[in-house]
Structure 1
Amino acid sequence: MSDLGAAWAGGGHRGSLREAASVIGVRIKSSYARNNDTQLWPEHREAYEIFGACATQWRVIAGVGNAIHQGIDYTALESVMRMRGVEDTAARFEQIRHIEAGALGVINKR
């Protein structure tokens, strides 16, 4: 599942994910972009949609000339899951953490 996060951050998944990342000020170098080889399995769709809904909820440490993304704000994530009526929040949380790890691996390499 971390491939989903890397695809999201690298813009390699359908739906202009690179544009979604740019909304929150994340610019991904083309050298980190991935091919469109990442598949979204049906059992991961809900987690991926929730991850996308939290696209503006990153914890970021701003430094001189760069920013380090620490991860999604989990209180916001919990709120999104509650608003969406997610039944198995523990399972979705673990899936989202895998997606987040893949995204962080790309975002923080810029």
Structure 2
Amino acid sequence: MLGRPAEVIEKEICTLRADDVVDIWPEHVAAFELFNRCCTDWRMTEFGPVGLDGNVILGLISLVKPENPLLLYDQVRLIEQGALAHFSERKR
């Protein structure tokens, strides 16, 4: 089998716990919360995650009805890019 088991990858992706302390600027809280809700909705290949499922992001955005949905979508995608870069570094 190429890559790593899905359970291992999921543990790496969903690492924040309820008692973790992180500082988030108020204007980024909604994007962080949405990203955190998507932590198990990654598109996967045998080599690992390649991106979040865009349909899940859009579905959650439609549920929370933000003032600026496009901005929230873009912010989540930026967090996703950072996460993918982090995963790539961990493989090396």
Q: What's the TM-score, normalizing by structure 1?
A: 0.60
Structure with the larger helix share: 2
By how many angstroms is 1:27 displaced?
Answer: 3.1
By how many angstroms is 1:41 displaced?
Answer: 0.2
**Partner residue in 2 for 1:45:** 29
State the structure with bigger RCO (CA 8 A, min sep 6), 1 or 2: 1
**2:50 aligned with 1:70:** yes
**Partner residue in 1 for 2:69:** 89
Could you tell me how far apart the structure 2 residues matched to 1:70 and 1:46 are?
23
Which ranges of 4 or more aligned residues in structure 1 deviate by more than 6 Å?
Answer: none
For structure 1, the residue ranges without an aligned partner over 5 or more in a row are: 1-21, 29-37
**Partner residue in 2 for 1:79:** 59
By how many angstroms is 1:24 displaced?
Answer: 5.9
Inter-CA distance 46–105: structure 2 relative to 1 (3 Å threshold): same
Q: What's the TM-score, normalizing by structure 2?
A: 0.71
Work out the percentage of aligned pairs sharing the same amino acid.
Answer: 32
**2:56 aligned with 1:56:** no
For structure 2, the residue ranges without an aligned partner over 5 or more in a row are: 1-6, 14-21
By how many angstroms is 1:39 displaced?
Answer: 3.1
Aligned-pair RMSD on alpha carbons? 2.4
How many pairs does the alignment contain? 77
